[in-house]
Structure 1
Amino acid sequence: MLVYAVFGDPVEHSLSPAMQNAAFSALGLSARYLAFRVKKERLKDAILGAEAMGFGGLNLTIPLKEAALSIVEPDENAAAMGAVNTVAFGDGIRGYNTDGLGALRALEGAGVRVAGRRVLIIGAGGAAKAIARQLALSGAELSIANRDRERALDLAASVGGRGYGLSELDRLIPWAEVVVNATSVGMREGDPRIVDGRLFRQGQIVFDIVYNRETELLQDAARAGARIIDGVPMLVHQGALSIEIWTGRKAPADVMEEALREELRNR
């Protein structure tokens, strides 16, 4: 039986084992996916240990994605995004980033085309970098807002967009056709709102990458008549892409999403 795993710190909240094990079962593969807490300073040891023990592959989550760049051989996409979320063994230790394409597939799965659309991304961390690069490649007109305005400016410059501080959301939210929250704000009940919900409007698309709960941002957007997309489809599609990298088989995204939502209902 091949072992796959997600490394993170913390990692107890991860829903990846539920969906990845459902996928392996549906594909008839003799494989098991587990979660391990790995501290950033021990990441190299953990990755080399997984290779030595014959693991099939790894996913990486917060705070390990950027640290992995110096350990694995990143492909062009992961190097450009500055983060690795998928590690494959075999011909060396290769690193990939499936977050951006996972986000694009989540939007497309909801019937949203981003080419030529005005897209606002809130955040400038690892997930925001991946999403911004992918949506820019797909033809979106990007604006990026972040608490640290300099980070927003740097990310915007790298993808051909415009960068702003959060103080400018009052005019950016009405401007945007698609709003993407690429921060972790909303993951915990009681997190402060980063957007005044009264700024949302009917006809907007509001996509929040947080997947463990319906965030206040999505609730506010729905009340304003916007179409909302939670983080589950992105998690599913980035995980499906990881399976395809590891196995060369098309992953059953519908099975994975069903397993993921069932796990959420039971938590």
Structure 2
Amino acid sequence: MRVPRGGVHALLGPNGAGKTTTVRILATLTRPDSGSARVAGHDVLREQRRVRRSISLAGQHAALDDEQTGAENLIMLARLAGLSGAAARGRAAALLERFDLTDAAGRRVVTYSGGMRRRLDLAASLVGTPSVIFLDEPTTGLDPRSRQGLWELIGELAGAGVTVLLTTQYLEEADRLADRIAVLHGGRLAAEGTAADLKRRFGAQRLELTWRDAASFAEAARRLGDRVIHREPARQELSVATDGSAPQVRALLDEVDPDRHGLLRFTVREATLDDVFLTLTDRPVSNEREVANV
């Protein structure tokens, strides 16, 4: 897996696929069993200090002191990073303003909402000037409005030239944010590319057919045979793969409903990341050597 500088690179995969473990290895928190990894040009085993000076990590749970205020959390981290008192206060104030937390700066973090805690955690990860930021499922548990706000902040970071490696279980999040996507399965890289490329390679377009009655549904299922990729008898719906072209769609409609009496309606649905995800995570795991460059 190679991640170019700048932009957002998403890691997708089911629970246990290795997303968090990959992040922990790249952040020098876990030692790899084999293979090699470099972050910002530095080896994660031989040059740990250089890696740590180049990165920031926001994990699944906000790493904040609940008993301190938002401002105190950021000032403390800035002081630990080596800034003087005045510089630390200035950096904290700038980050609080950037993440729309100025009004809550004097409140203890224990009083913050989930979305506010996430924004403060992301602000804390920028106290230094990292070139690479690891975000491990940063929007888990957030309401839609808070998630949208965090998406905008992540986009701003990438636009400023920061490399963002994002793990997520929300496929629409990866589709919306990521310049490139990697799908992990069983600790291995199953596929990598842009969202459009992955949809083209692994996600079939579907012709979705809804029938007037059970008899029409059963006859269409018989005609299509093993070409049916999804069926819902209770709703009398069938789906068949298609390239989306008008000639093929017309031919399929004529084949399954030659008398034009049984079909109630049809829809051509574009491939989604859900289709890609389900296709790739249903495959056997390969045995390629692990190599990562971020």
TM-score by length of 1: 0.29
Higher RCO structure, 1 or 2 (CA under 8 Å, sep 6+): 2
TM-score by length of 2: 0.27
